Structure 1
């Protein structure tokens, strides 16, 4: 970015900041002024509305009090009351004035067009009951008169005679005049005033359709309070403020469109934005023009410097100092710099020639060194390869010997383990032979016991056979005895059955004993054969143990020889590795020397090129 552009941007930012601050200050100042103006306008309208309501109520209250005082001079004299009520002032001030009596509920009023029917009882009317119960002047809630269809209120006052209540006085007042006064109050835009009764009913409103209706029924977003509020009324934001008026609980209110109230502020803000933009544009234009004018000598100086820089290095040129003081000092400094540069270029041209001559000799020496180092590198490469192969061979021999030694050690350990296993096997077979011999004895004892059981069963079988014969004889004798021997015959028959079953069971046991004897004989034979085989196995295990011991001794000799071979091979490999390491170090040093030599050659060549470039560049300068 050009310096000129930076100056313009910085100046513009300062102007924009100043205009923004001024506009912001002006906005808040005007906003505060407008808010105060709106508040004052609303307060004045409220005060005027309050004065109108209080004046209307006070005027009518005074008249009603006057009528009450006059009637109380002779309240029971209806002609006196009628005369007072027909006074022109009272008839003009009120729609109708009347007095209801406590004694019979009759009514005396001053409206000839209104004749209450015979069922009319003034004591049942709200105004009568209110005046009687409170004992003071009261104002009823507004209502529509049936005859005039106007919004009216009734002022009611008690009438007393020597301190005794005799009736209630009422006076109907039209609110049309009050509504006219309220509607004439001027506010911002389409703002207006209104009056509501203690229960929130509209008494006076520019829209007559609202009169007699509840405030919160029409405007549910409003709050029936004294604080200023912003509410959505009929789709528009309205500023609403209410305050008490008089002693009867009435309130006056003001409703102003928020948009209309602050329309002046909006217009001023738009004008401020427009003028601010114009001021910024004009300021930027002026700053740009002034900057261009002030920096014109710098552009001339810049052009002269470019001419010197691109004019084939003519260091004999000088800048003019005939300009403003700042730029004149800059031109003088530049001329001094060019003069110094001219002197240095002349010296560099001389030094460059000397360096060029010396560099040729250095280049030749470096080339010869690089060639010799190349041949040395080839010889070292061959030596390193041979030493590496010898080291690898020695290492392989050592590894093989070590592997053979390890294998011999493993075989030796295996023979030891095999010898232990054969010994364990021999002992196990010996124990097995002993157990088999014991088993042969036990089986022989089992065979003898089986023979004894067989003899016992033979005796039991003979006894069962004799019992069977005796039972048969007893049955025969019982049959001969007839009825007297029938019971004995039954017992004999049961004994014979038991003897038969015993004989049958002994036969089955005899068969099982025979099978057991046969199996015992077979087991005895097998056990004897197993004992013989176990003896043979013990002898063979002894032979195997002797063979393993001989193998163990041979493996020990082989392992010792392998250890000697491995030790010798490791020493040879270690010596070869040391020689190989030394060879590689010599090779690395030679490589570094060769690299340095090549680098020196390259550096000399590059230096030669730089010197030639330097000569070319310095040759462009006109000194």
Structure 2
């Protein structure tokens, strides 16, 4: 919808105008209107200040009148005070001065008399009449009243304004100016001028009519000093808190602490929910404040009027500006259309780069046309350069295509050779695996033989040790046999001796028998003993012969055993030497087996390393094979890309030739 520049510009201008109006309204409402409302509130505050100034002027007049009275009274006698006081009070003839009095200290006017005052006030006809209430017995002592104490303590020559009141002396609501009377430097008493609160009503009514709102004079404790349009009826001396439900202004004042403020302004809602603004201004030198309540709409009326006035001027100006901009834009777009038409003619003229756009008086559009002509001139030179470069590119691309074809053929041949190398390395890897397996098996077998040789060597060592032990025992037996033969040799002489003893014993026994026979019967017992001894000698000899025979046999056996032991010893020595030779042979076999085992382990390790290297080489050759395949594919892609580039260059050449540069 907004594809055309004119439509976008017109739409943007309309949006801009609407935006300006919205921004203006927002700015006026956000910044100007509050300022105007504040200024309007300031004007109302100023109005209240002016009312306060009028009140202060009236009070200042009363204070000046009071100064004259306090300066004159000390010069008058008691009777002259009674006679002159009405004229002094009514010297200006203003009805707001309700009355006044002279209130001496106890015993100052008349010795021994505590209360001797003179007090006058107006009657219903406005005439000054005397009032003796404060001198009567039923009246409280006037010198104890707050207004009296305030006047007594006030600075000399200044009024102490009392809070609004009414008393038994008069039902007229009023306030008074209490000022000290001095004779020399000594306090004589207090003079008062009572001012009726009615003159506040006139000022309030006039002010309400002027500002269009409600005005009220109140004391800081909330006591109302004047009537107001905010609450109907006579409300003087009533408190705002008691009238909060009867009016918006009294409600607002009842919620404020008037004893701590000098002046302020704040919005609030009335009893009926309307938007109002409360303004409070203190009256300097008095216990009173002026309060005003105005509709917030009234404060904004001036700002609303100003906003309408500004819009009344701004909207037509914006519309005129929109029309002017639209006309200027229309003319600008017309020139742009003419420029576009010239460019279209340039592009539709068979790409004739020798043509140029027309230029005018040198404005911005002519600058655009000049820049376009400069670009066309630059494009003309660039097309010439491209035409020259395209021929060189064509030649280079032809050479590149031939090189790509040769590279592809070489890579295809390299693929076959790489396949053969991969096959050979694969077979070498398989052979290395077999060698490694055989070497491992040989190493295992040699390890077994080594273990068996170690076991045989241990057995031979055990046999050698046994033979050595046997030889040691044989040597022990031989030594024992030698000792036994020596003992036998020692026994043989002893047997000869025993045999000789037996022969001698036999002879002795025979002699004894012969002697016994000679002795006859006396020798029979001895003959028996001799026979026994002879028999014992015969047995001894027989036993000796048997022992000798046995010793002879034993000696022969011992000699035969010694010969057998010697033969056994010689055989054991030969066996021990044979075991030593076997042990040395087994040691040599174990060393050879260990060397064979180490060689087998080295062969197995070398075979495994060769197998690992073969597998790595095989993997590398496979990677090379894949790389060669990728190179072949890339070569084919390059060849196709070269063909495409040649075709694109031919198309570029044909396009460049379509431009007219000369």
With the length of structure 1 as denominator, give the TM-score of the two structures: 0.55
How does 1:64-83 map onto structure 2 within 5 Å? 66=69, 73=76, 75=78
Deviates more, 1:330-339 or 1:97-106: 97-106
Decide whether aligned partners of structure 1 residues 190 and 142 sit closer, same or farther in structure 2, where only a CA change above 3 A counts: same
| 1:121 match | 137
CA separation in 2, counterparts of 1:372 and 1:134? 129
| 2:196 match | 174
CA separation in 1, counterparts of 2:379 and 2:88? 124
| 2:259 match | 224
Q: Which structure would you say has the larger RCO, counting Cα contacts within 8 Å and 6 or more residues apart?
A: 1
CA contact (8 A) 2:181 2:187 kept: yes
How does 1:220-299 map onto structure 2 within 5 Å? 220-225=255-260, 227-233=262-268, 235=270, 236=275, 238=277, 240-246=279-285, 249-255=286-292, 257=294, 260-261=298-299, 263-269=301-307, 271-272=309-310, 279=317, 282-299=320-337
Secondary structure at the residue paired with 1:325? coil
Secondary structure at the residue paired with 2:355? coil
Secondary structure at the residue paired with 2:207? coil
- Residue 129 of structure 1 deviates from its aligned partner by 3.9
Secondary structure at the residue paired with 2:358? coil
* C-alpha distance after superposition, 1:473-516 (max 9, x if no partner): xxxxxxxxxxxxxxxxxxxxxxxxxxxxxxxxxxxxxxxxxxxx
Q: 1:573 aligns with which of 611, 631, 642?
A: 611
Q: 1:391 aligns with which of 400, 425, 429?
A: 429
Q: 1:49 aligns with which of 42, 49, 52?
A: 52
CA separation in 1, counterparts of 2:339 and 2:89? 110
CA contact (8 A) 1:127 1:156 kept: no
CA separation in 1, counterparts of 2:220 and 2:43? 26
* C-alpha distance after superposition, 1:361-418 (max 9, x if no partner): 87577546534532441342243144135325525764896799799999x99xx9xx
* C-alpha distance after superposition, 1:285-335 (max 9, x if no partner): 5334324423533332233324544x3843267344153425456546645
Decide whether aligned partners of structure 1 residues 232 and 223 sit closer, same or farther in structure 2, where only a CA change above 3 A counts: farther
| 1:564 match | 602
Decide whether aligned partners of structure 1 residues 2 and 560 sit closer, same or farther in structure 2, where only a CA change above 3 A counts: farther
CA contact (8 A) 1:135 1:158 kept: yes
Secondary structure at the residue paired with 1:185? helix
- Residue 569 of structure 1 deviates from its aligned partner by 0.8
1:152 aligns with 2:174: yes
1:370 aligns with 2:408: yes
CA contact (8 A) 1:19 1:276 kept: no
Secondary structure at the residue paired with 1:203? coil
| 1:512 match | none
Decide whether aligned partners of structure 1 residues 387 and 143 sit closer, same or farther in structure 2, where only a CA change above 3 A counts: same
Decide whether aligned partners of structure 1 residues 399 and 39 sit closer, same or farther in structure 2, where only a CA change above 3 A counts: farther
Decide whether aligned partners of structure 1 residues 568 and 271 sit closer, same or farther in structure 2, where only a CA change above 3 A counts: same
CA contact (8 A) 1:85 1:109 kept: no
CA separation in 2, counterparts of 1:354 and 1:57? 113
CA separation in 1, counterparts of 2:168 and 2:598? 144
CA contact (8 A) 2:163 2:175 kept: yes
CA separation in 1, counterparts of 2:322 and 2:438? 94
How does 1:273-422 map onto structure 2 within 5 Å? 279=317, 282-309=320-347, 311=348, 313-315=350-352, 318-321=355-358, 323-326=360-363, 327-328=365-366, 330-331=368-369, 334=372, 338=376, 363=401, 366-367=404-405, 370-371=408-409, 373-391=411-429, 394-395=432-433, 398=436
Secondary structure at the residue paired with 1:293? helix
| 1:185 match | 207
Secondary structure at the residue paired with 1:231? strand
How does 1:490-569 map onto structure 2 within 5 Å? 560=598, 562-569=600-607
| Root mean square deviation, CA, Å | 6.3
Decide whether aligned partners of structure 1 residues 270 and 202 sit closer, same or farther in structure 2, where only a CA change above 3 A counts: same
Decide whether aligned partners of structure 1 residues 334 and 238 sit closer, same or farther in structure 2, where only a CA change above 3 A counts: closer
Q: How many residues align?
A: 482
- Residue 182 of structure 1 deviates from its aligned partner by 3.8
Secondary structure at the residue paired with 2:228? coil
* Structure exhibiting the larger radius of gyration computed from Cα positions: 2
CA separation in 2, counterparts of 1:622 and 1:201? 105
* C-alpha distance after superposition, 1:58-107 (max 9, x if no partner): 43883797599689956479996999799898896655667899568899
Structure 1: gaps of 5 or more residues: 417-549
How does 1:458-497 map onto structure 2 within 5 Å? none
Decide whether aligned partners of structure 1 residues 112 and 206 sit closer, same or farther in structure 2, where only a CA change above 3 A counts: closer
CA separation in 1, counterparts of 2:384 and 2:191? 129
- Residue 180 of structure 1 deviates from its aligned partner by 0.7
| 1:211 match | 236
CA separation in 2, counterparts of 1:103 and 1:355? 136
- Residue 203 of structure 1 deviates from its aligned partner by 1.4
CA separation in 2, counterparts of 1:597 and 1:91? 126
Decide whether aligned partners of structure 1 residues 408 and 182 sit closer, same or farther in structure 2, where only a CA change above 3 A counts: farther
CA contact (8 A) 1:42 1:187 kept: no
CA separation in 2, counterparts of 1:595 and 1:112? 132
- Residue 39 of structure 1 deviates from its aligned partner by 4.0
How does 1:15-34 map onto structure 2 within 5 Å? none
CA separation in 2, counterparts of 1:116 and 1:619? 133
CA separation in 2, counterparts of 1:347 and 1:336? 17
CA contact (8 A) 1:201 1:215 kept: yes
Decide whether aligned partners of structure 1 residues 602 and 617 sit closer, same or farther in structure 2, where only a CA change above 3 A counts: same
